[in-house]
């Protein structure tokens, strides 16, 4: 079993993690350059800084337009009809109980008793599922994959599954889509000679000198850019920077900004696979599906480009997942026990109802399209089989399932539980014939990593790292795993950090330590996501609390055939014969 004690010490204070090479993370100052052979790999990826001060969060909306009109007396039946439309049965009972008509005393008394009964039932339900007593914003912040969803300028991030394009949801409820002229593994970039790279590097140094001379007369909120980028539609305070050591970027000058009146409190985003520009957005009251024209030069697409997918009792929406084929879209809400399967073309949905759990908080579709992880607010989660839509449930001992990720072949699920500092593993088997349609999960979960708080002795003092895993991502090659570890809030020295593992899923599962990722001083990681089609290894995007979005490359040769680890490690993978020792009886079907 892997543990934090086997990791190398974290980077020195003031250093940032630049890249991985030869199975080791390299740290240094932010202005240091990448190796010359790797500089062109990130040439077209924009590194953004979006400070919170430049964004203005929306104020709370009124639940109705009633305060905007002059009050006039209406009949009781009309008021009850309006209350039924706006609030429901409780609104009708409240309207009758507070009626001013004196000849309806018996109805008022009965409504008070019925209203008291409804409140008692609601409080009983809330005691079983405490999250139902939270407001929508607090509920989204509780179940979001972002560490500080309410306070950070970046609330959601999503890579396009096939191109170097990503969407960023911001604190002001807007979404920006950034694109590049070519993929980071484009052949045209890899064929550049060393002489050409030196010329581009010299051009960059000259440009930096020009920027330095101009910045003395510039406003503090702006960063000057070349003439080709002056039309870049960024607000004041948003800086388009260059990755340390990379040549001048050739990013697209058109950055679409998506805004909609229903686009409030964005919790998650997901691009549709096998499609150029369809983006699903999980909002407070609905799911918005944006249809963007990749050839359009408009920076503000019309709200008519967005489909509205709404279902009664299914809000707020906290998680989305597309099928790898792009045919279906799943949505989840902590207040709805049903997981909705949407046919976006017809705007119809089929609820997959399963009582118990109090709702659905997090969804993860396996890359092979065969299974879906559905976490709940209570101490139970389910794995659905995507052919016959049957499911198996696993009750946990302590808390709810916080996050999870699938191996590239869909045969293994890694997940974490709230309140525990470990990573669990579940293996799945494929069935055919009469057994087809079963989930095929193992009955027990294996503890594969212990992330308890560990103290590292360094030349700069002690560093305390460890705690619960808030989010976790597995790169498409299946060879790097990143876990965002929340520090202990009761320990001032503990901090939030990203731990990176080297992984292998075949012929036996192996989890080896790689290192810790560190940002600028004072920056805490908020969101992590792997680039889906980076061919030189793996590329991890980290969104920081300062509003910076950085890309950290892991350069390695992906193993095409099963092989041993490239470097010796004190961690020994256990064979299947020793599974009785390694597996913990954490779950039970009883």
Query: In this predicted structure, which of 51-65, 189-203, 396-410, 542-556 has the lowest mean pLDDT?
Result: 189-203
Sequence-separated (6 or more) residues with CB below 8 Å from residue 504: 478, 479, 510, 559, 562, 565, 573
Q: What is the pLDDT of residues 540-557, one digit of tens each?
A: 999 999 999 999 999 988
Higher pLDDT: 387 or 432? It is 387
Three-state DSSP state, 587: coil
What CA–CA distance (Å, rounded) separates 108 from 80?
A: 13
For residue 51, pLDDT beyond 70? yes
For residue 230, pLDDT beyond 60? no
pLDDT of residue 233: 39
For residue 256, pLDDT beyond 50? yes
Residues 482-501, mean pLDDT to the nearest whole number:
87
DSSP secondary structure string, 426-462?
A: EEB----GGGTT---B-SSEEEEEE---EEEEETTEE
Is residue 180 within 8 A of residue 46, CB to CB? The reply is yes
Higher pLDDT: 361 or 206? It is 361
For residue 390, pLDDT beyond 70? yes
Sequence-separated (6 or more) residues with CB below 8 Å from residue 513: 2, 4, 6, 7, 8, 499, 501, 502, 569, 571
pLDDT of residue 220: 39
What CA–CA distance (Å, rounded) separates 476 from 443?
A: 26
pTM of the shown model: 0.76
For the chain, helix (H) and strand (E) counts, in that order, are 7, 35
pLDDT of residue 460: 83
The maximal CA–CA distance of the chain, rounded, in angstroms, is: 94
pLDDT of residue 249: 41
What CA–CA distance (Å, rounded) separates 10 from 8?
A: 7
pLDDT of residue 292: 92
pLDDT of residue 90: 73
Residues 254-274, mean pLDDT to the nearest whole number:
95
Q: What is the pLDDT of residues 327-385, one digit of tens each?
A: 999 999 999 889 999 999 999 999 998 766 679 999 999 999 999 999 999 889 999 99
What CA–CA distance (Å, rounded) separates 52 from 69?
A: 36
Is residue 501 within 8 A of residue 516, CB to CB? The reply is no
Q: Which secondary-structure segment (H or E) carries 424?
A: strand 422-427
Environment class of 13 (CB within 10 Å of its CB; exposed 0-12, middle 13-18, buried 19+)? exposed
Q: What is the pLDDT of residues 415-466, one digit of tens each?
A: 999 989 999 999 988 765 555 556 666 777 889 999 999 999 888 888 889 9
Query: In this predicted structure, which of 225-239, 374-388, 527-541 has the lowest mean pLDDT?
Result: 225-239
Q: Residue 248: pLDDT band by 50, 70, 90 thresholds?
A: very low
Average pLDDT, the chain: 79
- CA end-to-end span of the chain, whole Å? 27
pLDDT of residue 438: 66
Q: Is the sign of the CA dihedral 133, 135, 136, 142 positive or negative?
A: negative
Sequence-separated (6 or more) residues with CB below 8 Å from residue 120: none
């Amino acid at each position: 079993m892997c543990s934090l004690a086997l990791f190398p010490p974290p980077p020195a204070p003031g250093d940032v993690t630049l890249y991985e090479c030869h199975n080791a993370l390299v740290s240094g100052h932010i202005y240091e350059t990448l190796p010359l052979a790797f500089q062109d790999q990130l040439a077209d990826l924009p590194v953004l800084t979006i400070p919170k001060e430049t964004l203005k969060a929306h104020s709370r909306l009124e639940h109705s337009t009633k305060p905007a009109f002059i009050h006039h007396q209406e009949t009781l039946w009309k008021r009850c009809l309006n209350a039924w439309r706006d609030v429901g049965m409780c609104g009708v009972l409240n309207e009758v109980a507070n009626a001013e008509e004196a000849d309806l005393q018996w109805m008022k008394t009965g409504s008070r008793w019925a209203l008291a009964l409804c409140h008692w039932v609601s409080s009983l339900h809330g005691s079983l599922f405490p999250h139902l007593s939270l407001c929508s914003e607090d509920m989204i912040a509780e179940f979001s994959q972002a560490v500080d969803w309410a306070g950070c300028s970046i609330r959601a991030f999503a890579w396009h599954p096939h191109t170097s394009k990503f969407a960023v949801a911001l604190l002001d409820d807007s979404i920006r889509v950034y694109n590049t002229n070519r993929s980071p593994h484009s052949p045209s970039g890899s064929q550049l000679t060393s002489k050409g790279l030196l010329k581009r590097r010299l051009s960059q140094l000259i440009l930096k000198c020009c920027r330095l001379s101009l910045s003395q007369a510039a406003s503090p909120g702006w960063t000057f850019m070349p003439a080709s980028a002056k039309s870049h539609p960024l607000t004041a305070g948003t800086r388009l920077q260059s990755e340390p050591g990379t040549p001048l970027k050739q990013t697209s000058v058109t950055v679409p900004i998506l805004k909609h009146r229903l686009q409030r409190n964005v919790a998650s985003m997901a691009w549709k696979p096998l499609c150029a520009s369809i983006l699903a957005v999980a909002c407070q009251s609905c799911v918005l599906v944006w249809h963007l024209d990749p050839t359009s030069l408009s920076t503000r697409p019309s709200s008519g480009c967005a489909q509205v997918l709404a279902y009664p009792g299914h809000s707020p929406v906290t998680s989305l997942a597309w099928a790898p084929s792009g045919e279906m879209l799943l949505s989840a809400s902590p207040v709805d026990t049903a997981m909705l399967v949407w046919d976006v073309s017809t705007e119809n949905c089929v609820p997959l109802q399963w009582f118990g759990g109090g709702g659905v908080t997090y969804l993860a579709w396996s890359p092979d399209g065969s299974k879906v992880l559905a976490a709940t607010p209570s101490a139970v989660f389910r794995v659905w089989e995507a052919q016959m839509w049957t499911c198996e449930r696993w009750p946990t001992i302590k808390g709810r399932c916080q996050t999870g990720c699938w191996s590239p072949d869909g045969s293994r699920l890694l997940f974490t539980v709230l309140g525990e500092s470990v990573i669990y593993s579940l293996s799945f088997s494929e069935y055919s014939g009469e057994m087809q349609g079963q989930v095929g999960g193992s009955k027990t979960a294996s503890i594969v990593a212990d992330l308890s708080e560990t103290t590292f002795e360094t030349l700069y003092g002690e560093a305390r790292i460890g705690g619960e895993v808030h989010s976790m991502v597995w790169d498409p090659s299946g060879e790097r795993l990143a876990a965002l570890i929340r520090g202990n809030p009761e320990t001032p020295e503990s901090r939030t950090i990203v731990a990176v593992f080297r992984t292998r899923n075949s012929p036996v599962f192996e989890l080896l330590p790689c290192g810790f990722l560190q940002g600028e001083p004072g920056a805490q990681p908020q969101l992590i996501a792997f680039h889906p089609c980076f061919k030189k290894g793996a590329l991890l995007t980290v969104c920081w609390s300062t509003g910076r979005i950085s890309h950290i490359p892991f350069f390695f040769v992906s193993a095409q055939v099963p092989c041993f680890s490239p470097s010796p490690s004190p961690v020994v993978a256990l064979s299947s014969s020793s599974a009785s020792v390694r597996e913990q009886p954490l779950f039970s079907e009883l």
